[in-house]
Structure 1
Amino acid sequence: MDRGPVQQTLLSAFGWLPARIALAALTFFGSVNIFTLRINLSVAIVAMVRRNLTSATAARAHCLVPSSGNVTEEEEGAVTATPLTLHQVEDEGEMDWDEITQGVILASYYYGYVFTQVVGGRLAERYGPRIVFGICIMFSGICTLFTPLAARTNYASLIALRVILGLCSGMSWPTMQCILARWIPPLERPRFVAIVHFASTLSITFTLPMCGYIIATHGWDATFYVTGCLALVWSFIWLPLMHNTPAQHPRISTKELEYIETAVTAGGITRTRLRRVPWREMATSLPVWAIIVGDMGNSFGLSLYMTQLPTYMKNILGFSIKDNSALSGLPFLCRYTGGLICSWSGDWLLSRGYLSIINTRRIYSAIAMLGPAVVLMVVAHSGCDPSVAVALLCFSLFLNGAITTSQLVNHTDIAPNFSGTLFGICNTFASISSFISPMAVGALTRGQQTMGQWQKVFWMCVPIYGLTEIFYLIFCSGTVQSWNFAGQQQRKGSTDEAKSEPETKALHEVSK
């Protein structure tokens, strides 16, 4: 295989790493880039928009000001002098956008994101994840570089650019499932998901303060130039180093190649291209619907944390997210930590035969879904002690990290050949759920930022977590489905749970 000088240099630099470890590192930074390009506008728009806020009109936190409104002059002075309750803007922004326009701009990313999930998964299955994943992030980086120009032209141009960015990013997420199915042995997949796929969660913890620092020192437009260039640099490294399958990799060792191919073949991957997508079989498969319903319940709750947690911490507990960006990202750091711990423990239990695949998925799914449901009930009645509330929210997302060993990896359990398409379908439904969550919160609070209204918000999540988890526990599967081999002769017993044990034992032998 002929290689150019850039590829030769990169291969020599990373040649000491096992091929799948190098792949995991590259995919990790790709995942970080995707999410950084997604949330950078949420931080920058604070500095972009012209505001007329002063300390006289600053919002007061519910826990610091009596809800009755009967505040003495001494109490009011104390509140006004509290930095955490003020939302002051030192510099006037360039854009004269009202709140409705800002909301449309921030949501425009999802207009494109929701429509390309299935397309991205299918393209990755047919043409390989290397080109699809790399080109998607490359174009996303280019779109980000043009964001300041579009914003200064008019908000319609910015909306159009963000829609394109969403279209590209939407295709990239299902592509990672194809990487998972082709490159990562089944017993290592939860660990890969926790480290790599969950990098998006980890990126929140440093993207917020990073963007805040860049804006403070170089202006809001520098945020888009820096994050856009980082995405382009990553894509220039990814394209020459990444390969669609282990067999195509020029420097993979024979031992590693045999290990990966034996493990993924035992897990249901077919080396020949499967041209027919079993749409009807997918649509009528209860294990597929179990993942869809579970994803929707998880995404509903997670959307609450991602979009409403800053509002709750500011308006109820009295924290200013602008001044405490590291604190706002702390729960997501706990989620990443929880994902790592659960993935390692799940791998250990599965590889040693203490748990079957299906029981592993069920146990960790219960931790990820029922755990936050219980904790949110406690949060709803935790009162105004901010340290208690923040600790509970961190613990809730820590438990939710167990999703790495359940729903997030279950696609490759039941249909590794179509894991990209299946992930795209599930993530499309999950994206719809993410739209509904902030709308439901708005309907419950109705502009009244009180503890009583937020108790309703937290209690709303409890039955959603519980009912969707019960559905998942009943109908989920850890066995490769017969339609995974569409276009080929079906493997006998592939849908029989009892007959999956020999396959699981084979995976255990390969991992030793």
Structure 2
Amino acid sequence: MGKSDVVSSSEKEKKLEREINTEISPSGWGVRHTQAVLLFLCLLMAYALRVNMSVGIVAMTDRNNSNPDFEEFAWTEKTQGVVLSSFFWGYVITQIPAGQLAQKFGPKILLLISIGTCACGLLWSVLWFFYGGNSPAEYKNISLEEKEFIQSSLGSHDHKKIVTPWRAMLTSAPMIALIIVHSAHNWGFWTLLTEMPTYMKNVLGLDIKKNALLSALPYFCMWCASMVLSPLSDFLTNRGHLSLGFSRKLFNSIGLWGPMCALLGLAYVPKGSVELAVALLTVAVGINSATYLGFQVNHIDLAPNHAGTMMGITNCAANIMSFLAPLVVGFVLDDAKNPEQWKIVFFISAAIYFFGNLQFVIFGKATKQWWNSPKGKDVEEPQRRPSIAEAQY
């Protein structure tokens, strides 16, 4: 076998395996549901840590604030950009080591330490310590039926120590495409996440209370959309209506080119059209959840044995964009109340969304790569299709 993608298994074998998985599927509340709830709370707190400054900075720099209990800061737009980007300075450098540590020690201890360092995470850490687990095999209070169901769903995975094929990985066209599309996504996503409250305050003229509620609306819609798109993607691929590769590229295109169109529309929203602007922002963020069925699970498609390291690499590169984006916005905006300057911000994000997804459509793949196993051993296609639950971001 050369350095080419592994040929897919037959549709007959896939159908047989789906029938087997359905037969052994346990009923009722199980360990897998407890893990899902704990991970939901984990991500909830992780994202709260990321976005609290985006909302707080609106009040911190509000020159019209008459409340003497809260000090305001006379920060320029460039200074605000530096403050908003500061979270990612440390975030970037931990990505690759974290991927390696997760493969060596398992995800339980890493999540315990990272979330346990914040006050709200202390209660979660206690629950996670007692109820979290690295794998079904290590979990003590799991039924044999549920253990077999989860392990069959996860498919084959080599748990032996494998040397990371750095050169092959970093010179692989699908991996490079993954790095680029992840970076493009983060530029647009974090531009909106960090700057949306400022835009709503200065351009749309919304007060702090309405600003906070409407800034949260797009992300609530994003959550709702992910609950719909995830089973839809699984249905289309599991029933054979779409190939896995086409499905990844289709949903990724929806998740990046959809927001691109919304941002272009937002650039031309007439002054005073608050409802239209909020609607476009909601669309731009909401349908971005489709990327969870695109590039964000593609690491597992390409090399499940190295998915943790791959996520560390792509997330490290992508989060360089996360702190560059607010800095660029601060450089572009001399006057945060000027819609013409915001138009430039939206154009930049739309262009990056377009070209980032275009190269993923051209060069991206969803088949297991030869370097997944030691010395390029022959391997079969993954015995399941990763879904939104496996997108760790």
Give the 5 Å matches for 1:409-424.
409-424=297-312
Amino acid at match of 1:290: A
Query: Which residue identity lines up with residue 116 of structure 1 in the other structure?
Result: T
Q: Deviations over 1:205-263 (max 9, x none)?
A: xxxxxxxxxxxxxxxxxxxxxxx1x2001001101211211111112222222222233
What is the one-letter code of the residue matched to 2:299?
H
Equivalent residue in structure 2 for 1:118, among 93, 96, 116: 96
Q: Name the counterpart of 2:197.
A: 310
Question: 1:336 corresponds to which residue?
Answer: 223
| Whole-Å separation in 1 of the counterparts to 2:102 and 2:44 | 20
Query: Over residues 362-391 of structure 1, what are the superposed CA-to-partner deviations in whole Å (9 max), with x where a residue is unaligned?
Result: 100110111111122222112121111111
CA distance in 1, matches of 2:279, 2:123: 37
Q: State the alpha-carbon separation in 2 of the partners of residues 283 and 454 from structure 1.
A: 36
- The separation in 2 between residues aligned to 1:39 and 1:377, in whole angstroms, is 24
Relative distance call for 1:434 and 1:103 in structure 2 (3 A) is closer
The gaps in structure 1 that reach 5 residues or longer are 1-15, 59-86, 142-227, 495-499
Q: What is the CA–CA distance in structure 1 between the aligned matches of 2:197 and 2:336, rounded to whole Å?
A: 16
Give the alignment partner of residue 449 of structure 1, picking from 334, 337, 340: 337
Output one character per residue of 1:404-457: Cα deviation in whole Å (capped at 9) or x when no partner.
Answer: 100111111111121111111111111111122223223333336322222222
CA contact (8 A) 2:88 2:320 kept: no
Q: Give the TM-score of the pair, scaled to structure 2.
A: 0.83
Q: Is residue 132 of structure 2 the alignment partner of residue 133 of structure 1?
A: no
Task: Tell me if the contact between 2:85 and 2:327 (Cα under 8 Å) persists in the aligned partners.
Answer: no
Residue type at the aligned position of 1:249: Y
Quote the Cα distance in structure 2 between the aligned partners of 1:46 and 1:456: 21
Residues of 2 paired with 1:353 and 1:129: CA distance?
33
* SS, match of residue 167 in structure 2: helix
Check the 8 A contact 2:85/2:323 in 1, yes or no: no
The alpha-carbon distance between structure 1 residues 472 and 305, as it changes in their structure 2 partners (threshold 3 A), is same
Amino acid at match of 2:332: L
How far apart, in 2, do the equivalents of 1:125 and 1:373 lie?
A: 35
Alignment partner of 1:30 is 2:42: yes
Contact 2:58 2:201 in 1 (8 A): no
Is contact 2:329–2:345 with CA below 8 Å preserved after alignment?
A: yes
Amino acid of the structure 2 residue aligned with 1:310 = P
Report the alpha carbon displacement of residue 102 of structure 1 after superposing the two structures with TM. 6.8
Secondary structure at the residue paired with 1:114?
helix
1:264 Cα offset (Å): 2.1
Q: Counterparts of 1:13-412 in structure 2 under 5 Å?
A: 17-43=29-55, 87-93=64-70, 106-138=84-116, 140-141=117-118, 228=119, 230-266=120-156, 269-274=157-162, 276-384=163-271, 385-412=273-300
For residue 101 of structure 1, report the CA deviation from its aligned partner.
7.2
Q: Aligned to 1:478, what secondary structure does the other structure show? A: coil
How many residue pairs match? The answer is: 358
1:398 positional shift:
1.8
Matched to 1:305, the amino acid is: L
The question of whether the paired residues in 2 share the 8 Å contact of 1:342 and 1:404 is answered with no
Q: Classify 1:270/1:333 alpha carbon distance in 2 versus 1 (closer, same or farther; 3 Å).
A: same
Letter in 2 for 1:424: G
Residue 93 of structure 2 aligns to a residue whose secondary structure is coil
Alpha-carbon separation, structure 1, partners of 2:177 and 2:152: 28
Q: Structure 2: which amino acid aligns with 1:370?
A: W
Contact 1:321 1:327 in 2 (8 A): no
* Aligned-residue offset at 1:127: 0.8
* Deviates most, 402-411 or 247-256: 247-256
Is 1:484 the counterpart of 2:372 in the alignment?
Answer: yes
For the aligned residues, what is the CA RMSD?
A: 2.6
Greater radius of gyration (CA): 1
Contact 1:340 1:401 in 2 (8 A): no
Shift of residue 104, structure 1, vs aligned partner: 5.3
CA contact (8 A) 2:54 2:195 kept: no
Identity %: 34
Cα contact 1:337–1:401 (8 A) shared by 2: no
CA contact (8 A) 1:122 1:420 kept: yes
CA contact (8 A) 1:412 1:419 kept: yes
Q: SS of 1:324's equivalent?
A: helix
Decide which moves more: 102-111 or 252-261: 102-111
Larger RCO: 1 or 2 (CA < 8 Å, sep 6+): 2
Question: Does the Cα contact within 8 Å between 1:119 and 1:424 map onto a contact in 2?
Answer: yes
Q: CA deviation at 1:130?
A: 1.1
Cα-to-partner distance string for 1:276-319 (whole Å, 9 max, x where unaligned): 11111111011111111111111111122112212221211111
Bigger drift between 456-465 and 233-242 goes to 456-465
